[in-house]
Chains A and B, each alone.
Chain A
Amino acid sequence: MPKKELKAALKIKHGEISPLSLKTLRGEKTEEEVKALSLLTAWHNNAKKKKDFAGVLR
């Protein structure tokens, strides 16, 4: 379904609801959440940097 038709169909079905801005759904992060996200990002990046296993596979 093309986007215009889809939007029209949604309006018919759900009434003339003006769409919310996406920002409306974005919550503010706590300090703990920001820290956790930064720790996880660093951890994922470390895995790529580690070039070899820590011993010989047997």
Chain B
Amino acid sequence: MINFSLCQWLPLEDASLFKLISQCTINSNAVNKRPFHRLCSLMRKMGAQSLWIEKVNSSNNADIDYESNYLKKFFNSHVEITAYKFIFVQESNAEIIKVDPQKLTFLSCSVVMNYSSGREKNSYLLYSIVAIPKRYDFLSETPIPLMNYYFHSFRNYDFILNDPLLGKVNFKICGSPFFQQNKTTSVCMQSALATIFNNIGHNKKLILPNRINELYGVPFGRELFLDKKGTLKVIKKRGLFTKELLFDQKETMEVFKELFKKFGWSPSSSVYPWMESGFPGFIVFRTRSTDLHVVPIIGHTLNTDSWQPEADIRYNRRVRFHFRPVSAWIDNFIIHDDNFGMYLSYPASKLSEKKGRYGYFVDHVIFVTEHKITLPPDRLEIDLISDLRQVFELNKDVSEEENPWLHRIINEEKAPLVSRTMVAKKTDFLKTLGQRDSNGKKITKTDIDAVGEQMPDRFWLTEVTLPDLYLANKTALISIVTQLNTDRQIFIRLPRLGYLIIQNKCYRLDLPTSGHYKIYERISDIETYDW
């Protein structure tokens, strides 16, 4: 079937990946090869120079063993399986021989599965883990992250390359696993849940889409189309919680029309805090009148040159004390689509499309969390507007000389206050709080300890700033800490002062920090490049 050399590094410069795809898959118009093409396109874009192909089977690969056993049980008959593992690396053949094999730049590891059982046959990517995409920079001669791409749902995955000469080579790839539905035992929800469960868990073995069927308890031989109840049941069985956001009703559009008019609040503003908190989630959207499709959310892209938020500020004059959620600058969600491939950009505006227009109308967005969270962050942000107005009122006499940034934010007439809410970890937040502000000043350890004493391990953090500070400096002027499940604030930090709330009493702290602070970031394994 395959004319490419197995178990040796294949130079990609003159190789045809189109030929590779047709040789490694069943020749049939019924087979969906788009995800395989997307994988190869990404590898070209990410500068892959060499490819390793191994033939894998039940005896040398646990994932193939699991999948083939599942298919055999499902069809209740013999299943013929041919499968290949593809490992792309960035190095050329000339470089590979000089480098320790474990130190190669592994760009992806994928398995393509071909099966036939009687008249049933199919080819699909059983899994494909592509490293968080980077592009090769010819000036610095290193791969650099994609500009303004922010990945939230990913982790390190372990793989093995079986070299006949060197033996087993262990390597890791940091990314988000992609699974193609095989249309027989798995459809889109199994693929989406497999991506989510793998990213949220710490299991060493990959959770394949058919494991979702087992978790749900579906009998073999029966096709499984998960409904909402089944989906929520599977998630609950993993010990996880969900947050459902509903977009399919006419009333939803009316709610957001009102919220946009008065608060510049869009549907993606309600989605953003869950995603920015690092919670994996998925979008369920309509493809036909009776058919839906689901895609997992991996991250988002940000366009800091976007015209719309500026225009909304200028032309909608009611914005003075309204927050402008940072989601206004988000142009895409990064998703996997098990019909087309990994790390695709899905326009955030799709959430706002009108009901009845078949623009892949969004039905639900569901986020999966490890803790139960009952206070919705969109409600919290709007709730905080009046409190912040009150805090400004308390400090209205502050002079420009005394506290320039507080004076500026209180008296700024032309720009709205930009807000950003997400679940923060106490340890990461205290680290941010311990950093120097834009004037080089730090909060004392005693004050940081006093604040830390009052905080739970996780909480909603709302950062408020001016649009220019957010877009150009990635800094915030105000931080507000609120409990996850009640709208009780714990701490409010402003330039030069803080309010610490202990047992319904509020202590005013004088702080040495009169500047702006780096916005909160979760500690991550991957670099991001901002414009």
Query: Which residues in A have some Cβ–Cβ distance to B below 8 Å?
Result: 1, 3, 6-7, 9-10, 13-14, 17, 19-22, 24-30, 32-33, 35-37, 39-44, 46-48, 50-58
A32 to B450, CA, bound (A): 37
Give chain A nearest CB distance to B287 CB in angstroms: 8
A47 adjacent to B290 (CB under 8 Å): no
Interface residues in B493-509 (C-beta closer than 8 Å to A): 499-509
Q: Is B317 an interface residue (CB 8 A)?
A: no
**Quick one: which of A10, A41, A47, A53 contacts B500, CB cutoff 8 A?**
A10
3 A-B pairs with least C-beta separation: A27-B390, A27-B386, A19-B505
**Quick one: which of A17, A43, A48 contacts B508, CB cutoff 8 A?**
A17
Q: How would residues 270 to 294 of chain B score, 1 for a CB under 8 Å from any chain A CB and 0 otherwise?
A: 1000000000000010111111111
A26 adjacent to B390 (CB under 8 Å): yes
B382's closest neighbor in chain A, by CB? A36
A26 adjacent to B387 (CB under 8 Å): yes
With A10-B450, A36-B258, A53-B228 as contacts: A24 and B379 at CB distance below 8 Å = no
B188's closest neighbor in chain A, by CB? A57
**Quick one: which of B255, B363, B449 contacts A43, CB cutoff 8 A?**
B255
Return chain B residues, CB-CB under 8 Å to A47. Answer: 244-246, 364
B453 adjacent to A20 (CB under 8 Å): no
- If A21-B506, A27-B385, A57-B294 are given as contacts, then 10 extra A-B residue pairs at C-beta distance below 8 Å, sorted by A number, are A19-B502, A20-B505, A24-B394, A25-B391, A26-B387, A27-B386, A40-B379, A46-B251, A52-B227, A55-B290
A7 to B244, CA, bound (A): 41
Return chain A residues, CB-CB under 8 Å to B385. Answer: 27, 33
A9 to B454, CA, bound (A): 14
Q: How would residues 287 to 319 of chain B score, 1 for a CB under 8 Å from any chain A CB and 0 otherwise?
A: 111111110000000000000000000000000
Dominant SS at the A interface? helix
A47 to B503, CA, bound (A): 34
A21 to B228, CA, bound (A): 45
B506's closest neighbor in chain A, by CB? A20
Return chain A residues, CB-CB under 8 Å to B291. Answer: 55-56, 58
Q: Is B510 an interface residue (CB 8 A)?
A: yes
Give chain B nearest CB distance to A33 CB in angstroms: 6
Give chain B nearest CB distance to A24 CB in angstroms: 7
A51 adjacent to B229 (CB under 8 Å): yes
Return chain B residues, CB-CB under 8 Å to A22. Answer: 501, 504-506
A25 adjacent to B390 (CB under 8 Å): yes
A43 to B258, CA, bound (A): 13
With A19-B505, A36-B258 as contacts: A43 and B252 at CB distance below 8 Å = yes
Give chain B nearest CB distance to A37 CB in angstroms: 6
Return chain B residues, CB-CB under 8 Å to A21. Answer: 504-506
B262's closest neighbor in chain A, by CB? A32
B506 adjacent to A17 (CB under 8 Å): no
Return chain B residues, CB-CB under 8 Å to A48. Answer: 244
Q: Is B447 an interface residue (CB 8 A)?
A: yes
Q: Is B141 an interface residue (CB 8 A)?
A: no
A54 adjacent to B446 (CB under 8 Å): no
A7's closest neighbor in chain B, by CB? B502
| Pairs A–B under 8 Å by Cβ, sample size 7 | A3-B503, A10-B450, A19-B505, A25-B501, A33-B386, A56-B290, A57-B292
Q: Is B17 an interface residue (CB 8 A)?
A: no
Return chain B residues, CB-CB under 8 Å to A58. Answer: 187-188, 225, 287, 291-293
Return chain B residues, CB-CB under 8 Å to A55. Answer: 286, 288-292, 363
Q: In this complex, which of A3, A20, A30, A36 has the most chain B Cβ atoms within 10 angstroms of its Cβ?
A: A36
Q: Is B11 an interface residue (CB 8 A)?
A: no
A2's closest neighbor in chain B, by CB? B453
B386 adjacent to A29 (CB under 8 Å): yes
With A19-B507, A40-B382 as contacts: A56 and B225 at CB distance below 8 Å = yes
Q: Is B471 an interface residue (CB 8 A)?
A: no
A44 adjacent to B284 (CB under 8 Å): no
With A48-B244, A57-B225 as contacts: A36 and B263 at CB distance below 8 Å = yes
A25 to B182, CA, bound (A): 56
B504 adjacent to A10 (CB under 8 Å): no
Q: How would residues 314 to 335 of chain B score, 1 for a CB under 8 Å from any chain A CB and 0 otherwise?
A: 0000000000000000000000
Q: In this complex, which of A44, A46, A47, A50 has the most chain B Cβ atoms within 10 angstroms of its Cβ?
A: A47
